[in-house]
Amino acid sequence: MVDDLFFKSVKPDKSLDDFVESFWMLHNPSENDMETIGLPDGRIDLFLSKSDSQPFGIVLLGIGSQPHEQAVIAAHSLIFAISFRLLAVEYFFGESISDILNSGKYLSNDFWDFNENDFKNFDSFCQKATQKIKQLLPKEIDERKRKLFELIYESNGEKSVKELSEKSFWSSRQINRYFNQQFGLSLKSYCDIMRFRASLDHIAKGKLFPELDFTDQTHFIREIKKFSGVVPKELSRNKNDRFVLLSVLKRQ
């Protein structure tokens, strides 16, 4: 049950806003593994994790575009994580993550000088991560990309591709080529994920009707089911707290 989990999230320094959404930790101190369904949230996550059954490791998770039904939060596990915005991929990692759409990859156990000792204190981990990221901040950012992502995040993915193209002064053809090459999906698909993520806040409050730019109730239900595997009513019930992201939102 989610009551057995400890979750904490910290917003980054303002100077990191274009690149980092949050730092967070998740701890399962119980004797039992927790089966969960991961929901798409539009983020890229860098995980430091360890448990009784798994040694210390660092994993980079790509964008999720479908529910992950095989996710397990292991007994006695601890996760410290950085949730990145998409702009971080090019400027911090320097390579495409299109090959880890709906999956992830292990990084070296000393990536960015992280190590198992960082689990001693979450606040210290956040400070260390902030310091490292500040060292990597670019002197210049492609203004088209910065503006594009600002528009996507501010609108929760509700702006059309045409409007995003016009307001960022970047052709939709070039944007889609960039998205597919860098992230493994189209701009429209990513905007749909961001709209779904914003809808979770409403569903967590028991609002089972569209409050965002869905055509109608049928469209809303279809989109929620596409990304969660269930209709809004079942998602809201969240039987056995299997949707941990939704459970966390309900507690906030």
- For each of the domains in the chain, give its residue range(s) and CATH number, in order of start: 2-136 (2.60.40), 143-251 (1.10.10.60)
Q: What is the pLDDT of residues 195-218, one digit of tens each?
A: 999 888 888 888 777 666 777 888
Q: Which amino acid is at 29?
A: P
List Cα–Cα distances, 124 to 59, 80, 113, 140, 176, in angstroms: 20, 11, 13, 28, 39
Give the per-residue pLDDT at 252.
59
Write phi, then psi, for 63 (nearest 5 degrees): -65, 140
Distances (CA, A) of 198 to 33, 66, 97, 149: 28, 16, 23, 16
| Contact present, 22 and 10 (Cβ < 8 Å) | yes
Residues 162-195: tens digit of each pLDDT: 999 999 999 999 999 999 999 999 999 999 999 9
**pLDDT at 246 > cutoff 80:** no
Residue 250 pLDDT: 62
Q: What is the mean pLDDT of residues 123-149?
A: 96
- What's this model's pTM, rounded to 2 decimal places? 0.92
Q: Pick 240 or 122 by higher pLDDT.
A: 122
